[in-house]
Structures are given as structure tokens and as C-alpha cells.
A and B are shown apart, each in its own frame.
Chain A
Amino acid sequence: MLLRRSESLDSKLQSSDITPQSAFERFQQQRRTLLTGAAALGIGAYALSRVPGLFVPSTTAHAQSLPSSSGKYTVPDTQTPFAKATNYNNFYEFGTDKSDPAKHANTLKTRPWTIQVTGMVKKPQTIDIETLLKYRPIESRVYRHRCVEAWSMVIPWDGYSLSEFLNLCEPLPSAKYVQFLSLVDKKQMPDLPYGYNWPYSEGLRLDEAMNPLALLTFGCYGQVLPNQNGAPIRIVSPWKYGFKNGKSIVRVHFTDKQPHTTWNDQSSEEYGFFSNVNPKVDHPRWSQARERRIDSSAFPKTIPTLMFNGYADQVASLYNGMDLKRYF
């Protein structure tokens, strides 16, 4: 039997083959640095992918259509895409970022829903939303929507003139103002921010509210209002800045004194009671002479803002003789 004995390692390896300790350590350190760097890059890339804004539309699961006939109050401007109008909302009860309401308003329960009518009326009453939906035919109106933050949209709303509803409420002759109070419910609004005078309160002078342009709104884009847009019932007065339009209204109160309004309580020098769209009266922090018209492009055009948002023909007479700089 022939056994071949292997040569010993000692005789094969020369001392020069041994990696010097310093080189070995250097290699190890570089390896560690590289791995750390790779890990950092990985974490960085992951973190970036979490940056909100990587547009994830959270449209309501079951869009319910709302039959309507087209109304006469329709502007020819290009409409804002539905996805933008329903993912960019100021509805602070569901969070202060404009992307919050679309994400969080799914907790809002819109049925059963009633509206209380209180204050200076013949008879205080509680009206069910279903009654109101059937009370008058639903009209589709395409309105300009100008936010006080100097951006604007063009939205097809569905509803009927607020005046129809106000007449149903039978206000007393002494009533001069109407106040709209929105829902506030910590259970349905877990992100309700502190430091605001909840519930959200807005109001109009009664003659403003009776103007046929003011719309009692149940839907938009031919469907029932998405929660983030103020379901199930809201106001749209297109010649005023957007915040004047109360969302998810639960109470309508008639009074002879100018009601307090939420943003005016918050910062009276920035948000007046009237808040008519007026290119000549700046917001303290920006000019109101221009607006970014939200459309489907990456770089939307900035266009001049029109007096009363372009509705001067219909509403300017409401403010005859009023100093609109003072009563902004």
C-alpha cells in the first residue's frame, strides 16, 4: 500500500506570504466602513421612500353617484382633476396638513345625520339629511374655488341654492346673520388639533346667504361628497375664500349679531368675517393679487385673481357703500 504523505504547510508557505497585520487591519476597517456606508445608503433610500408625497391616492372605496341636472351657474374654466380636489383639503378636524383629510376622514360617519335649526326662527327643528336631499332637485354647478392661501381650483359641485333651505327654516325678520356649525367629535376625529375654538364656526350675513350663488352642497363631480370634502352637507359661497364654507354641518343658527367665526377667532388680522375674494387686499403674509390654478400639469400657471373671484356681477351689489379694505 502506498501512502502519499502530504507536504507540511510549513514547507509550502513562506513567511512573505503572511499578510502583514497592518494590512489585514486596514482591510478589515475598509470592509467595515463599506458595509456601514452601504447600510447607511440603504436606510437613507428606505427613509426617502417613506417621504409622504409619493402620491398614493386614497379615494373613497365606494363612490356613490348623485344624479343632478346641469345648472346655469357654470364657469367655462378647465376643471381641476377629481384626484386633486379630493386629496388637497383644509379640514383641520382631520389634521392640519392638506393631505391629512383624504387619509383620515374615513372615520367620519355620515349616516345617520341631522341638522339642527336654532336661534331666531319661527320654530326650532331638526332636519334629517335624507329629507334635505329630496327637498329640491340637485343641480350641478361648476364654480371657481379660491383658497385664502392663494391657490385655486375649479370644481363641479352638486346641490341647490342655500336660499331654498333658509326659507324652509323660516327665520324671523329680526335675524340678520346665519351661523354654520360643523361636527366636532373626538371619536370620529382622533387628530383634532388643540388650540382651536371647536366646533368650526362660520357665518354669512343673511342677505349674502340668500344670494342664489350660495350653494347648499351634497356632492361634487357627480357623486356624493367624499368625507374629506365636507360630507354629507356643506356650504359653497364661491365669491369668498374657501374657509368661509363650513363642512359637515350639524347646526344652522340664526342670530341678529355677527357670529364668531373660527379663523377670525384664531387670527383676526388675517381672516376677516367677510373674506370676500379681493385681489387688492393682501393677506398679511402674501399677496392676494394672484393665484396658482391647480390643474393637471406639473407647473400650473399663476393667474390674476378676480374681484369677488369673478362673481362681481352677481354679488358686488351686496357690498355697496362698504369699505372692503376695512371689512375684509
Chain B
Amino acid sequence: MTKRTIILLKTIVHLLCLSPFVYLLRFYQSGALELNPDPVAYITHFTGDWAVWTLLTSLAITPLRRLSPRIGWLIRFRRLIGLYAFFYASLHLATYVFLFSGYDLPTVLAGIRSGHPGIAIDEWKKVWPSIWDDVRKRRFIQVGFLAWLILLSLAVTSPAFIMRAMGGKPWQRLHRLVYVAGICAIIHYWWLVKSGNRAPWKVTLVLTLLLLARIAYNAIRKLTPNKPTAKGTKIKAAIPESAVTQQN
């Protein structure tokens, strides 16, 4: 795949990942949000859904590319889509903090525009106790917040230079936490819906399949020990024996 194709594809993936956000902005600007019965709940669910969906998409890349060496290039999009998962998770958290909590965002924005930025702090002081209360008392908030913290740490360590500075192994170990984030996000969803509401079953099924695919893949690899590399990796030249032994 040529460099230009990659750039083109990346542009498309960026546009696709941004389109829900653009849709939400348009939804607000067009006045449709005002017509929605519960706009704040709508934004909360919208950003939460897209955070989960983008996270699952990024988790789907590894099992997918193992299916065929011809789609090995998919790996180039994993980090990009993962960062969008963090983007939507952050929007979701911001919605909770600046809208759902009772923070009066329209008044604060009007205040800032008319030269009274202090109102942002005053509003924060007003809602802070109830946010703190939520974080202390409610397990679905805790588990959701944990998922966001994990995504934050992965996003911060995602640039290539940090990966080099950390070293491949520790970096990989840290980034395996993405599975924990995925599981936390799904638990967050189950704990927040009413009992008897099975709405989260679809994303739960997808996450389960994606995790099972990894377990199955590792099990198969263990059962076939003479296969030195992953199925999806194309080897141009055999690694010389010396190169392997020297490192150990």
C-alpha cells in the first residue's frame, strides 16, 4: 500500500470518526436539540454510545487483521480509532460534569461573554459537592470513570516517541489495559440501566466475541508451537538464527 493511499484512507477514517461529532453539532445548531424531550440525556447517551462503539471498533482491528495477511494494514488505524474512543469518552465525561450535574453552562457562557468569567468557578463550586457525592457513592460512576482514566493513560502514552521512551514491552503491557477499559465501559452501561432493561446486550456480545477471538487465537498459537510468527505477519526474509540467539 502506497503512502498516498494510506494518507487518503486515514483522511477518510478521520472524517468517519468525526462525523458523529459533526452530526451532534448540527443537531444543536439546527434547533433539533431543543425539540428533543430531554436534550441533556440525549447528549449523554449519544456520546456514551459512540465512545463504546469506537472503542469496540478499535478492539476489532486485531482479530480482524489476523483473518488474512492481506488486511494487515488495518493495524495502522487502530491507534487512530482508539484515540477517537478517548475523544468521545471525554465528551461523555464533559457532558456529565458540565450539563448533567446541573452546571449551568448557558449562563456560564453568557457570563464569560459579558466579561464575568468568575461565574464559571461559582457554578463549579455549586455542583462540585454533588459530583463528589456521585463519585463516592455510585459504582456505575466509579467504573465509568475508571474506564475513562485508562483511556486517558493510553491516549497520553500513544505518541511513538513515548512508546520508544517506555520500551516496547512495558508499553504493550500498559496498553493491554484497553481490554479492562472495554469491560469497565460495558459494566458501566449495565449498572446504569434499570433492572430488566437489556439494552446493553448487543455491545456486550460484540465485546465478548472480540475477547474470545483473542483467547482462541492465543490457544491455537500455543497448540502449534513450530509456527514462529503470527498468521497475519508477512515475512519477506527469514530471520537469521544468529540474530535471534544474539539477543538472549
Contacts and interface: CB of A to CB of B under 8 A. Distances in A.
B35 A299 contact: no
Contacts of A289: 130
Contacts of B167: none
A124 interface: no
Interface in B115-138: 130, 133-134, 137-138
B58 to A, nearest CB: 16
Interface residues of B, number: 46
A41 B40 contact: no
Contacts of B16: 40-41, 44
B33 A298 contact: yes
Contact of A290 (B23, B36, B46, B130): B130
B194 A299 contact: no
B197 A45 contact: no
Contacts of B199: 96-97
A151 B2 contact: no
Given A30-B8, A45-B19, A298 B196 contact: no
A48 interface: yes
A33 B5 CA distance: 7
B41 interface: yes
B195 A84 contact: no
A294 B33 CA distance: 12
Assign chain A's interface to a size class: 35 or more
Interface in B1-41: 2, 4-5, 8-9, 12, 15-16, 19-20, 23, 27-28, 31-41
Contacts of A266: 194-196
A53 B42 contact: yes
A48 B20 contact: yes
A190 interface: no
Given A44-B19, A266-B195, A299 B105 contact: yes
B106 interface: yes
Nearest to B133: A287
A292 B191 contact: no
A125 interface: no
Contacts of B46: 53
A206 B214 CA distance: 59
B197 A96 contact: yes
Contact of A286 (B20, B42, B138): B138
B19 A48 contact: yes
In the complex, which of the residues A51, A96, A285 has the most CB atoms of chain B within 10 Å of its own CB atom?
A: A285
Contacts of A299: 39-40, 99, 105-106
Interface string B63-84: 0000000000000000000000
Interface string A59-94: 000000000000000000000000110011000000
Contact of B140 (A267, A285, A296, A302): A285
Majority secondary structure of chain A interface residues (helix, strand, loop or mixed): loop
B2 A292 contact: no
Contact of A287 (B35, B37, B130): B130
Contact of A29 (B5, B42, B101): B5
Contacts of A319: none
A279 to B, nearest CB: 12
Contacts of A196: 196
A180 to B, nearest CB: 20
20 contacts: A37-B12, A41-B16, A44-B19, A53-B36, A55-B36, A88-B37, A97-B199, A98-B38, A151-B41, A195-B196, A195-B198, A285-B140, A287-B130, A287-B133, A294-B37, A297-B106, A298-B31, A298-B33, A301-B104, A302-B101
Interface of B: 2, 4-5, 8-9, 12, 15-16, 19-20, 23, 27-28, 31-42, 46, 99, 101-102, 104-106, 130, 133-134, 137-138, 140, 191-192, 194-199
Interface of A: 26, 29-30, 33-34, 37, 40-41, 44-45, 48, 51, 53-55, 57, 83-84, 87-88, 96-98, 151, 193, 195-196, 266-267, 270, 282, 284-287, 289-290, 292, 294, 296-302
Pairs A-B, 9 closest by C-beta atoms: A88-B37, A302-B102, A37-B12, A84-B37, A267-B195, A298-B33, A298-B34, A55-B35, A195-B196
